[in-house]
Amino acid sequence: MFYKSAIKTLVAFMIIGTTSAFAGNGKVKYISVLDLDEQKDDMYVIDIRKSKERIRTGIIEDSEKITLERNGNKYNMEGIMKKIQKIVPDNNTPFALVSEKGRKAKILGNFIKKKSNFQTIYILKGGVEEWIYKELDLEETYQ
């Protein structure tokens, strides 16, 4: 009987502990292109694509540009996180990561969420390709 009670208490503690830990370090959130288009003035938009990709398609208006660089066969996540910390003024300021299709932004966003105290990190669902598909405006860039 004691063991059952102890196990139930332990399981309850694990669930509550996991839930509260998850709440602070939860996953990044997706944002649709239409929602980002409406809300982009209320958050930082950070384009992590290579310079040649940004030049080819253009960028979302007023986006910050940071290239997700490789260090050998791995992405330099620590380096880009430091750059983002210089752009985004505090942990409570929301920002959206933009990549070509959204996959690299998701990887980076999850890394940042685990390693930092940023509260709201959005990933542009479908990336710039979806932005173009919806025929939303992009501005020309040379870098």
Q: What is the pLDDT at residue 132?
A: 97
- Boundaries of every domain in the chain: 27-133
For residue range 68-105, what is the model confidence (pLDDT) as tens digits?
Answer: 877 778 888 888 989 999 999 999 999 999 999 999 99
Superfamily of structural domain 27-133: Rhodanese-like domain (3.40.250.10)
**In terms of Cα–Cα distance, which of 31, 30, 38 is closest to 136?**
38
Q: What is the pLDDT at residue 50?
A: 94
Q: Specify which residues 30 forms β-bridges with.
A: 123
Overall pTM surpassing 0.85 (yes/no): no
For residue range 17-60, what is the model confidence (pLDDT) as tens digits?
Answer: 333 333 345 679 999 999 999 999 999 999 999 999 999 999 99
